A and B are shown apart, each in its own frame.
Chain A
Amino acid sequence: MSLLSNSRAPHQHSQRNVAQMMRDVLLATFPVSTILCWTYGWGVLLNILFAASCCWLLEAAALKIRGRRLQPWLTDGSAPLTGVLLALALPPLTPWWLIAIASLFAIVFAKHLYGGLGYNLFNPAMAGYAVLLISFPAYMAWWPELSARSNINDTLHYFLYGTAAADALSGATPLDAIQTGLKQMQTLPELLANGTLATAGNAQWVWVNLAAIAGGLFLLMRRTITWQIPAGVILGLALSASIAWIGDAAVNPSPWLQLVSGGTMIGVFFIATDPVSSASSPKGKLIYGAGIGVLTYVIRTWGAYPDGFAFAVLLMNLAVPLIDRYTRPKLYGQVQ
């Protein structure tokens, strides 16, 4: 009787795999994508579809050039996920070449030049987005005014040629509005009173954040992500904001405003929780998250960019080896 003797202990495994985790995250972005589409129009969907396919094609090209097998890498879902997360960070109206540049940087430079899935130091989506933030700040700051939600034709026109149709008006995100207002020596109560924040869609952004939280809760339930990173980011951001807000509520946005303005919760649950570029131990994840929260606050308050989430993530990516080193669990018997 011949036996199969190629199997090694353990002979039993949990039924989790990388592709399933990526699919979970893709699925979890559905509510927030829907809300964004509903708020800002077809541009969001266009961005998502284009970025995801761009990333997927670039992944295939990079694998081909590196002489790697295409499977299982093309079906693990990690490349389209990078595209989707990138698209969620972009303004609803973004010309296609910017998305292509960001995808190229995310997949080829941030991911494959470091060795592909599992080896990248930086969060690929944020690396791609940061390139656009630095190189094309005007495009990245241009958000369409909510009242003038553009139709499919205008959206496509902008997507293809990068020029706005006559009736498209420039708007701002709540964070932009706050920063601009504060620079013009207005106080927060004034900004709230004169409707600047409302025009910037503060109420809609609350919905976007709630949708992101819903997706995040789904991921927590599925154990695709753990609670430590989201909790760390929220605590880090809320605590820094609270200290400033208690100090002077006239010029410092409340912690609540900080947490629900812009795509903060998208970052908390979908960006910061990227396993590859984050810390590994539970304690390390908490510290990593808190670092992102504090840095986001610092960049939002004193930086030149209205939203600092991307830079906060990239900076904390750099700190991961150090965090991992100092949050190593104690070996059995070494604790007393």
Chain B
Amino acid sequence: MSGPQLIHAQNDWGLKLPSGKGENPLPAATEISAPEELTVLLKQSPGGLSKPLVQIGQKVFKGQKIAAPAKNNFGSFLHAPVSGTVTSIIEVNDSEHIKRAIILANDGLDTVHDDCTPISNPFQRSPQFIRQRIAEGGIVGLGGALFPTAIKLNPAPGIKTLLINGVECEPYINCDNQLLQQYPERVLSGTRLMLHVLGAEEAVIAIEQDMVHALVSMQAATDTLNDPRIRVVSVPDVYPAGGERQLIEIITGSQVPHGGLPADLGVICQNVGTAAAVDQWINAGEPLISRTVTVCGNATTASENCVVRIGTPIAAIISTLQAKDVSRVIIGGSMMGVTAHSVTEPISKASNCIILSNGEHFSPAPEEMPCIRCGDCVPVCPAGINPQLLLESMSTTNTRQSEALGALDCIDCGCCDYVCPSGIDLTARFKIAKQTIWEQHLLAMRAERSQQRFADHERRSLTASNKERATLDAQTAAFHDLHTNSKGALDDMLKRLNSSTPDDAALKDTPRKNDKADD
């Protein structure tokens, strides 16, 4: 038995952030009992929207599909996390607080829906079947992006490596760490299912160097399984080594081409939590209706991992854990987490961490000063941006420069912000820049489309008039022909008349003759 191979990174970006993730083995996750009312968000990720499949007042079972992905969109199937009744469906995003959601009243019985059955002998089934099943289980990327797993498992052929991302590099978040320590076999089982779907040669499970207990348990489980396709590697504890493209760079030594996908390098990346969710659905018949959430912060006694049903309001977690003096809630880690507007906000499939703060938790940014061009932000950027030049470029309304400087390449990791001595909120500004650029692209696209429409219309009317003219010309020609012909005919007739006077005379005479005859 050999230990996990340590990959030495070629990069020099990122930050060394104290995490304390390897200090002690993590205790088992606490189960948070389902609350009386759950809010299942219909839009759980920026790119995904689901459409309700249920009506108000309808009775639903635990694990029953209550929403399906909307068309042309990266939404997922949503399932009832509990059995109960649909009390309301909010479909209009009318404020920041009330989002599109299905509200369920829990009947407390947890009656399981008939669909929730394990698949026996999944490896005998076709990859297509398993992939379809994964889509129906509402499985999405649990690393935070919530990209539908089934879509990601259906790339162009030529995938060699399935990269299982267990690099939980952001401070405070511990749910993957806990999963790897407690249920490494679930991760392995999900990994094998995904290998089956992809037909890939190998799976690499990457874990951060300082997550020592996770590494030990994962290596032990891999040794027990003894699948030659699967190996465990450890990567340097640098933030954000767990970013998909950053991890691929560390593992493969090459970067995903600009504008390309990991599949271009023959790699597909999936989170360890996603692998476990695939296992849970295929082998245990439970769709993605709950997830592990790290609950920490100075308003709670200890950092712990909780298994929470999707749709549970944060307030329910706060009251279960008896957290006091919560004045700020951050959903996510300390680097990329979003401040919650209210404790009524529910847990979504993306909520990996909840930081409950009494207000004095973090080292605040210094008072904002102008950029002193120190350049500290340049080497830390994992996206290869010079944040300082990008910031400078944003002082004009011309977004082309910002785009050329990589505004759209920013991954919101916050490294530049962290080191900035002038306390400039670079990440937030870059988010706005990104939005502005997208909007301008959208406008440009619309303008192009309407220009295209106008051109098409012009062409059509031109074609029409051409046709018309052709018809007209043909008609004129025909008329002329006719005219000429008829003229000729007339002339002919006249000529004939003149030349055949006797006939005419005869003709003229005929009545006379007749008359005569009559006479």
A184 is an interface residue with CB less than 8 A from chain B: no
Q: How many residue pairs, one in A and one in B, have C-beta atoms under 8 Å apart?
A: 173
| B residues near A11, Cβ cutoff 8 Å | 330, 334-335, 337, 339, 355, 361-362
Minimum Cβ distance to chain A for residue B170 (Å): 10
- Are B370 and A119 in contact, with the CB atoms below 8 A? yes
B223 is an interface residue with CB less than 8 A from chain A: no
Minimum Cβ distance to chain B for residue A87 (Å): 22
- Compute how far the CA of A98 lies from the CA of B206 in the bound complex, rounded to whole angstroms: 65
Please give me the residue from chain A that is nearest to B260 by CB atom. A333
- Compute how far the CA of A335 lies from the CA of B258 in the bound complex, rounded to whole angstroms: 9
B351-367 contact mask (Cβ, 8 Å, vs A): 1 or 0: 00001000101111111
- Are B335 and A8 in contact, with the CB atoms below 8 A? no
- Compute how far the CA of A151 lies from the CA of B385 in the bound complex, rounded to whole angstroms: 56
* With known contacts A5-B339, A10-B335, A18–B421 Cβ distance under 8 A: yes
| B residues near A4, Cβ cutoff 8 Å | 327-328, 339, 359
Please give me the residue from chain A that is nearest to B408 by CB atom. A331
Interface size of B by CB at 8 A reads 69
- Are A7 and B339 in contact, with the CB atoms below 8 A? yes
A275 is an interface residue with CB less than 8 A from chain B: yes
- Are B427 and A116 in contact, with the CB atoms below 8 A? no
Q: Which residues of chain B in 286-341 are interfacial with respect to chain A, using CB atoms and an 8 Å cutoff?
A: 315, 326-330, 332, 334-341
Grouping DSSP codes into helix (H, G, I), strand (E, B) and loop, the B interface class, with mixed when no group exceeds half, is: loop
- Are B336 and A10 in contact, with the CB atoms below 8 A? yes
- Are A14 and B418 in contact, with the CB atoms below 8 A? yes
Please give me the residue from chain B that is nearest to A10 by CB atom. B414
Minimum Cβ distance to chain B for residue A77 (Å): 12
* With known contacts A8-B425, A9-B427, A332-B384, A275–B245 Cβ distance under 8 A: no
* With known contacts A9-B412, A12-B362, A12-B418, A280–B328 Cβ distance under 8 A: no
| B residues near A16, Cβ cutoff 8 Å | 366, 419, 421
B378 is an interface residue with CB less than 8 A from chain A: yes
A153 is an interface residue with CB less than 8 A from chain B: no
| A residues near B256, Cβ cutoff 8 Å | 332-333
| B residues near A280, Cβ cutoff 8 Å | 373-375, 378, 386, 388-389
A4-37 contact mask (Cβ, 8 Å, vs B): 1 or 0: 1111111111111110110000000000000000
| B residues near A12, Cβ cutoff 8 Å | 17, 171, 334-335, 362-363, 418
- Are B373 and A13 in contact, with the CB atoms below 8 A? no
B259 is an interface residue with CB less than 8 A from chain A: yes
- Are A3 and B339 in contact, with the CB atoms below 8 A? yes
* With known contacts A4-B327, A13-B423, A118-B370, A329–B381 Cβ distance under 8 A: yes
Minimum Cβ distance to chain A for residue B395 (Å): 11
| A residues near B260, Cβ cutoff 8 Å | 333
Minimum Cβ distance to chain A for residue B321 (Å): 15
- Are A285 and B384 in contact, with the CB atoms below 8 A? no
B372 is an interface residue with CB less than 8 A from chain A: yes
A282 is an interface residue with CB less than 8 A from chain B: yes
Minimum Cβ distance to chain A for residue B288 (Å): 25
B182 is an interface residue with CB less than 8 A from chain A: no
A64 is an interface residue with CB less than 8 A from chain B: no
Minimum Cβ distance to chain A for residue B460 (Å): 42
Please give me the residue from chain B that is nearest to A228 by CB atom. B375
| B residues near A14, Cβ cutoff 8 Å | 363, 418-419
| A3, A14, A16, most chain B CB atoms within 10 A | A3
Q: Which 5 A-B pairs have the closest CB atoms?
A: A10-B414, A118-B370, A333-B258, A17-B366, A280-B375
User: Could you give 7 example pairs across A and B, Cβ below 8 Å?
Assistant: A9-B332, A9-B335, A10-B417, A72-B369, A281-B386, A282-B378, A331-B258
Q: Which B residues are within 8 Å of any A CB, using their own CB?
A: 17, 171, 245, 249, 254-260, 315, 326-330, 332, 334-343, 355, 359, 361-367, 369-375, 378-379, 381-386, 388-389, 405-406, 409, 412, 414, 417-423, 425, 427-428
